[in-house]
Amino acid sequence: MIDITLRKLRYFDALARTGHFGRAAEACAISQPALSVQIKELEEILGTPLIERSQRHLRLTRFGQAFLSRSREILRSVDDLEQLARTAKGRLVGSLRIGVIPTIAPYLLPRIIHALSAQYDETEIHIRETQTSTLLSELAEGRIDTAILALPISDPRFAEIALFEERFVLVRPEGDANKPVPSRDRLREMRLLLLEEGHCFRDQALSFCDISSNPRGELREMLDGSSLATLVQMVGAGIGVTLIPEMAVGVETGSAPVSVSRFSDPEPKRTIGMIWRRSSPMGPVFQEMSEIVRNCAGAGGEGLSDRGRR
């Protein structure tokens, strides 16, 4: 009988994910020599190498790639069994891993965490903030339980539920406050500041402005930033204009000399929602959680009218 333990599978998964023995050992909270021994033992049990070792590179063998796919299926099933046991108790206990995209996390998380902690007082909540593509991979692999992001995702692996719609607003230098709000055509002629590649909000802003992501010189006057805070500060310095989600207005615009305006109809907007694996037995819990998150979004924050913005 082959003695493959779940611990060895998790160590191998961490090594494949990080591509580095030291980082994998840190992620697994063990020493690097101990991790190396566990991987070596796993290879001896299987009778074939899982990785190609060199001084600079670590890559999976062909067998290692196939083994990784199957082992991750096993680990996801085990995680689902653990979740099933937790929900069978009639209350959510243990840990809850929530992924959130960066254009939502700073603005909703304080209210969400407070509300969820009050509702599920026996649960330890862990937050993972990163871009949508990474969240989808981690959710599929069972490394997070659910994610809050922009819809639609339209992936058959995931269940999704819409929470609320949110408008985009225009941020301009303070001296432009009394100028007419530019049209889409005019925006394309302005220096538009956007989040760097990989952020779904960037793609949504480009779509509103009807700008191709593969332009012929069309993005010549555009500049990229790593966060909404950076974009707003750049606008305050007179470098250009930007679009931000309305939930970010109260946090990001208070310390910069900028003006905020709404667009005329049809206003640009996005749908925020929650997703989780369809195979997860925690589906009913996530449905319940979605109502809590929706209420948090409706209850908090300063709107444009509250701040006297145009």
pLDDT digits (tens, 9 = 90+) for 191-246: 899 998 888 998 888 888 877 544 444 444 567 888 999 999 999 999 999 999 99
CATH topology agreement for domains 85-163+270-307 and 165-269: yes
Confidence of residue 68 (pLDDT cuts 50, 70, 90): very high
pTM listed for this prediction? 0.75
Rounded Cα distance, 276 and 26, in Å = 27
Phi, psi values for residue 123, rounded to 5°: -115, 135
Pick the more confident residue, 229 or 90: 229
Domain 6-76, CATH: 1.10.10.10
Give which of 79, 256, 279 is closest to 171, Cα–Cα: 256
DSSP string, 244-261: EEGGGHHHHSTTSSEEEE
Q: What is the pLDDT of residues 45-59, one digit of tens each?
A: 999 999 988 767 788
The token pair at 158 is 């995931």
Q: Mean of the per-residue pLDDT values for the chain? A: 86
**Residue 73 in tokens:** 């299926």
Structure tokens at 282: 């925690």
Two tokens, residue 4:
């493959």
Burial of 2 (0-12, 13-18, 19+ CB in 10 A): exposed
88 has pLDDT over 90: no
Domain ranges of the chain: 6-76, 85-163+270-307, 165-269
Q: Which CATH number fits domain 85-163+270-307: 3.40.1530.20, 3.20.20.70, 3.40.1280.10, 3.40.190.10?
A: 3.40.190.10
Enter the DSSP assignment of 98: E
Q: Is 78 helix (H, G, I), strand (E, B) or coil?
A: helix
Tell me the three state secondary structure of residue 19.
coil
CA distance 109 to 101: 11
Nearest to 261 by CA among 309, 299, 196: 309
Residue 83 has pLDDT above 80, yes or no: no
Q: What is the pLDDT at residue 214?
A: 44
Q: Are 211 and 195 in contact (CB under 8 A)?
A: no
Q: Is 19 left (phi over 0), alpha (psi -120 to 50) or beta?
A: left
Query: Does the domain formed by 165-269 have CATH 2.60.40.420?
Result: no
Residue 85 has pLDDT above 60, yes or no: yes
Cα separation, 3 vs 6, whole angstroms: 10
Give the three-class secondary structure for 95.
strand
Share of the chain above pLDDT 90, in %: 55
